[in-house]
Amino acid sequence: MKIKPYAALLTAAVMPCTAVYAADSTKIGYGQGTATDEKNRPVDAVQFNSRYGDLDAFALSEDEKRIIITFDQGYENGYTAKILDTLKEKDVQAIFFLTGPYAKTESALVQRMIDEGHVLGNHGMTHASLPTLSDENAKEEIMSLHNYVMNNYGYQMQYFRCPCGEYSEKALETAQQCGYKTLFWSSAYVDWKTDQQPSPQEGLKKLTEAAHGGEILLLHSVSSTNAEILGELIDSFRAMGYTV
């Protein structure tokens, strides 16, 4: 599956969500691991695609010339506007995974994301771990945010990211039945601890050394480091021959 984060692709109808009972409900914490293959792709991400691709769940895209930048938007820390400025300057479209509180309290920033051609993703109404919920509550966690964004922004989301990075086969199947593709990531680093930010040099080094084709990069917009290095990071990816 090729994932191209452009608003023009958001045309698929989201089907009514139905409960699923057959799949394994064991909770798993996702991580891309440190072992890589000959293409510098995390082996765990490659294996995740192979195992769960039929459930429309992916940690890598098939486009080996491209890096997809995604942000988790749990709360606002004052850096999103700067991030959006940089993305606009560099002509990059990103995927922003919203929680319910963010969608409800940051309407100006969310509308700007839409207006500037970014993709909105669903990160759960309350950021609850799906495998810990009943079938009905898991459906509600996804669809209540889906409907809120549709009703308030006229925008139909189609990508889901599991809150807390926790999933089960059953949770992935529930998201699929709700009409969603589930996106994890193949590259991430510790950027969410606002009082323990890596230096810009450290962050840039880690992210460029981990670059690979088909990469889905997870960043958090609460990070001062990410806001500072984003432009240089995009330039570095492009210098390495990747489309961003």
Catalytic residues: 72, 220
Task: Give the burial string for 14-52 (b: 16+ CB within 10 Å, else e).
Answer: beebeebeeeeeeebebebeeebeeeebbebbbebbeeb
Alpha-carbon distance of 23 to 135, in angstroms, equals: 12
Q: Nearest-5° angle of CA 43, CA 44, CA 45?
A: 90
Task: Check residue 131 and report its DSSP letter.
Answer: G
Residue 206 contacts residue 190 (beta carbons within 8 Å): no
Report phi then psi at 225, rounded to 5. -65, -45
